[in-house]
Amino acid sequence: MSLVEVFLDRDRLSVVQIIYCTLSPQKLTLSPEKELHSNKKSRYQRPEISWFSMNKTSLSLVARPVERLIENRTVFAGKDSELCIYDTYQQVERVRLRAEELMFCGMLTGKKVMHWDAGKTPFFPGESFIIAPDSEVYIDFPTATLETPTSCMTIEIARERIASLAEQLYESHGINDLDYSSSCFQHSHHTAETQLLLERLTGVYAENHPDRKLLIDLGITELTVRLLRNKSRSFLLSKSRNEPDANGVNAAVAYIESRLYKPLSIDRLCAVSCMSRSRLYSEFRNKLAASPCEYHKQRRMERALELLDRNFSVTKTCFELGFQNPSHFSRLFRQCFGYSPRQYQSQRK
C-alpha cells in the first residue's frame, strides 16, 4: 500500500519533504518478550526524517525521528524525569511496557487497550493512565495505521521525588495514603488544567530554552502534586463510601455523593458534617483542593462520563444529573474536560 506523508516545518507554512513508502498493513501480534524498550532496529528505518505533527488535543509541535513502525520512541530527558513520545503506525497486540519508576501515560491520538492483572481498559486522548514503579502492562493498538498513527506520551518520575512531595503534602495538609511504591494502576480523565500542563511540559522538553531545566522541574512538580492529590481524593471517596461516619469530611463527601442530582446546600452540608462553614471550606481545601461547590461540580461531571460510557444520550445524562438545560450542561462539561459530551461519545465509537 502506498502512502504519501507530507512533512511540514515547525510553523506549518511550507512542505519540507515528501516521503513515499510501500509497507504491509497487515495486523501483527507480538510475543511478550518483545518490549517497547527493545534496542532492535526496524528494517524500515528512516533516521533522516523529522516528523512534525499536531495531535488532536493541540499539544505543541514536536519533532519525532521515524525509526520504527511499532512504538517509535522519541526521548526528552530531564534531571530526575524523562518524557517519551511513542508513535505506532500499524495494528499490534500485547506490547509489553514496564515502568522502572512511576510512569504517567497520556494519550495523544488514536486508541489503546491497556491490559494488567486486574483486567483491561480502553485508553483514549484526554485520559491518563498511571503505572506504579516496577510494574508492567500489555498494550493493544486496534486502530493504528500508517495514515493515522496512535500516539502517546509518557513521563517517568523518580520515586524519591514523589516521596519528597508526598511528605510535604502530609506536613502542610495532613494528606496521607499517597504511597505509589506498591503495584497499582490508575486510569482517569484529564481536567482542562492538566491538559494545559501537559501541553506546556511537552513544549518545554522539546525546546532549547535557557531555563529549560528549571521549567521542567516546576512542571514535573506540578504534575506530581496533581497525581498525588488525585490519589488522595480517590482514597477519600472510597473511605466515605465504606465509613461515612468516620469523620466530618467523610460524612460531607458521602452526602454529596448520594445527592449529585440535586443542588448543593452548604447549610445542610455543615449540619451533616458537624462543622462550621469556615471549617468545612478549610477541610475541603486541604483534603480535596476544592471548595464544596467545586467538588460537587467535579463529581457531577465525572458521573456524566460514566453515564455517557453506558451510552446514555447527552440529554438523558443532563437530566439524570439534575441539570435543567442541556446547553448549560454541555458548557460545564467542556469547561471541565476540554471537549463537549458529543465529542466524547463520538471519539469512542
Mean model confidence pLDDT for the chain = 76
Which residues form the domain of 203? Answer: 25-45+69-234
pLDDT band at 314, cuts 50/70/90? Answer: very high
- C-beta of residue 331 within 8 angstroms of C-beta of residue 324: no
Torsion of CA 142, 144, 147, 150, to 10 degrees: 130
pLDDT the model gives residue 133: 85
Q: Is residue 175 part of a domain?
A: yes
Say if residue 40 is in the same domain as residue 109.
Answer: yes
Tell me the pLDDT tens digit for each residue of 133-168. Answer: 888 899 999 999 988 999 988 988 888 888 888 788
Longest Cα pair distance anywhere in the chain, in angstroms? 69
pLDDT the model gives residue 64: 64
Say if residue 211 is in the same domain as residue 301.
Answer: no
Say if residue 131 is in the same domain as residue 205.
Answer: yes
* Distance (Å) of CA 96 to CA 136, 137, 336, 346: 7, 6, 32, 29
Q: Is residue 73 part of a domain?
A: yes
In 3D space, the residue among 130, 150, 155 whose CA is nearest the CA of residue 140 turns out to be 150
The values of phi and psi at residue 222, to 5°, are -65, -45
Say if residue 229 is in the same domain as residue 312.
Answer: no
pTM of the model: 0.66
Tell me the pLDDT tens digit for each residue of 268-307. Answer: 999 999 999 999 999 998 888 889 999 999 999 999 999 9
Pairing of the two strands 28-29 and 92-99: parallel
Say if residue 276 is in the same domain as residue 163.
Answer: no
DSSP string across 213-268:
HHHHHHHHHHHHHHHHHHHHHHHHHHHHHH-TTSSHHHHHHHHHHHTTTS---HHH
Say if residue 82 is in the same domain as residue 103.
Answer: yes
Domain boundary among the residues 195, 214, 234 is at: 234
pLDDT the model gives residue 19: 28
Say if residue 198 is in the same domain as residue 268.
Answer: no
Pairing of the two strands 2-8 and 150-157: unpaired
pLDDT band at 11, cuts 50/70/90? Answer: very low
Q: Is residue 11 part of a domain?
A: no
Say if residue 220 is in the same domain as residue 307.
Answer: no
Could you tell me the end-to-end alpha-carbon distance of the chain, in angstroms, rounded to an integer?
Answer: 26
Considering only residues 29 and 94, tell me which one the structure prediction assigns the higher pLDDT.
94
Say if residue 147 is in the same domain as residue 200.
Answer: yes
- C-beta of residue 131 within 8 angstroms of C-beta of residue 180: no
Q: Is residue 61 part of a domain?
A: no
- C-beta of residue 262 within 8 angstroms of C-beta of residue 235: no
Highest mean pLDDT among 12-26, 52-66, 97-111: 97-111
- C-beta of residue 139 within 8 angstroms of C-beta of residue 114: yes
Please compute the mean of the pLDDT values over residues 218-231 and round it to a whole number.
83
The CATH number of whichever domain residue 268 belongs to comes to 1.10.10.60
- C-beta of residue 164 within 8 angstroms of C-beta of residue 113: no
Q: Is residue 1 part of a domain?
A: no
Say if residue 76 is in the same domain as residue 116.
Answer: yes
pLDDT band at 37, cuts 50/70/90? Answer: very low
Q: Is residue 146 part of a domain?
A: yes
- CA angle 339-302-323, nearest 5°? 80
pLDDT the model gives residue 315: 95
Domain boundary among the residues 184, 200, 234 is at: 234
Torsion of CA 63, 65, 66, 70, to 10 degrees: -80
Tell me the pLDDT tens digit for each residue of 77-130. Answer: 766 778 888 999 999 999 999 888 888 898 888 999 999 887 888 998 888 888
Q: Is residue 2 part of a domain?
A: no
In 3D space, the residue among 51, 56, 45, 44 whose CA is nearest the CA of residue 7 turns out to be 51
Say if residue 300 is in the same domain as residue 336.
Answer: yes
Please compute the mean of the pLDDT values over residues 310-339 and round it to a whole number.
92
Q: Is residue 63 part of a domain?
A: no
Please compute the mean of the pLDDT values over residues 213-233 and round it to a whole number.
82
Domain boundary among the residues 183, 217, 234 is at: 234
Rounded-to-integer distance, Cα 3 and Cα 20, Å:
6
In 3D space, the residue among 152, 156, 176 whose CA is nearest the CA of residue 166 turns out to be 176
Say if residue 229 is in the same domain as residue 263.
Answer: no
How many domains does one find in the chain?
2
pLDDT band at 267, cuts 50/70/90? Answer: very high
The CATH number of whichever domain residue 129 belongs to comes to 2.60.120.810
Considering only residues 70 and 117, tell me which one the structure prediction assigns the higher pLDDT.
70
AA letter at 305? L
